Amino acid sequence: MAQIIDGKKASAKLLSQVAGDVIEFKAKHGITPGLAVVLVGDDPASQVYVRNKVQRAEQVGIRSIEHRLDANVSQAELNALVDELNANPDVHGILVQLPLPGHLDEDRIVDAIAPSKDVDGFHSLNVAALATGKPGLVPCTPQGSMTMLSETLGDLTGLHAVVIGRSNIVGKPMAALLLQANCTVTMVHSRTRDIASVCRQADILVAAVGVPKLVKADWVKPGATVIDVGINVEIIDGARKLFGDVDFASVSEVAGAITPVPGGVGPMTIANLLANTLQAAESQMPV
């Protein structure tokens, strides 16, 4: 039976570090770090995440400001809000919850955010910084996954990491961080041939797909470390249940260590968002 990597515990540790650093920041600068969360439309799943983010922010002493916009908001109206938040000195971090409704251009909105306030690390300049190993804001989910990997495995040098999924928000930045940590990195996706046999070579297997229970026991090398990023919601007998991209019941009998869903990557994502907000606030202070 695999070791269960406890994301709640890891996130509690990071949150308490951030809370301490926020106290220092306030004492030093006399202001409170602020995070603006922009939610367009009324998708219930997004509302849950946004509520979680706002609650955790308050717990660590970060002021959070929620902006809810109608699903029909125009590109110009959303851009105007982002411009206003960019100019507001009380706002140090800006997160626009994705995905946006289809009539809005996600790339243009993300690139409208001031790079120094881009706590998701999705702005083109932060993407470039990550790709070239320069300092910048790093996406929260991959960052949180790396922390759990390091705590589980120590130095990752030379390990073969396979990342399933190539999205800009998870798969690609995850691969960049693994490469930076000296892993040999393979990316697989919906067009990969014989995906099971590629995954079976992995010492580290990261699943960021959005297909419930896609990864089966025979995709996993015995003893491998499995990071399950997937958050798939199903309603079973009227109750809301979460599933990862990994078939936890069977894979946990083969893997050496595995993150559960819920209680794995999700809580670490939020803790890293708040760590990034503090980092962003620090970077905006006069020297």
Ligand X SMILES: Nc1nc(=O)c2c([nH]1)NC[C@@H]1CN(c3ccc(C(=O)N[C@@H](CCC(=O)O)C(=O)O)cc3)C=[N+]21
Residue 160 dihedral angles phi and psi, to the nearest 5°: -90, 115
CA distances from 206 to 5, 17, 32, 142, 148 (A): 13, 26, 36, 10, 12
Query: Is residue 231 a contact residue for ligand X (CB under 6 A)?
Result: yes
For residues 84, 87, 89 and 95, what is the CA-based torsion angle, rounded to 10 degrees?
60
CA distance 105 to 95: 15
Assign 233 to helix, strand or coil.
Answer: strand
Which listed option, ligand X, Mg ion, ligand NDP, none, makes contact with residue 120 (CB within 5 to 8 Å by class)? ligand X
**Among 19, 65, 98, 129, interactor with ligand X by CB under 6 A:** 98
Which listed range, 24-32, 155-163, 184-192, 266-274, lies at the site for ligand X (CB under 6 A)? 266-274
The number of residues that bind ligand X (CB under 6 A) is: 18
- In this complex, which beta carbon is closest to ligand X, that of residue 178 or of residue 274? 274
Residue ranges in 137-176 that form contacts with Mg ion under rule CB under 5 A: 167
226, 173, 203: which is closest to 7 by C-alpha? 226
Among Mg ion, ligand X, ligand NDP, none, what binds residue 166 when CB lies within 5 to 8 Å by partner kind? Answer: ligand NDP
The phi and psi torsions of 4 (rounded to 5 degrees) equal -90, 120
Which partner in ligand NDP, ligand X, Mg ion, none is near 96 (CB below 5 to 8 A by kind)? ligand X
Burial-class residue 184 by CB neighbours within 10 Å (0-12, 13-18, 19+).
middle
Q: Does 134 participate in catalysis according to the annotation? A: no
User: If binding means CB under 5 A, how many residues of this protein chain bind Mg ion?
Assistant: 1
Annotated active-site residue in 21, 118, 120, 245: 120
Which residue numbers are catalytic? 53, 97, 120
The residues of the shown chain that bind ligand X, judged by CB under 6 A, are 48-49, 52, 95-98, 120, 140, 231, 242, 261-263, 266-267, 269-270
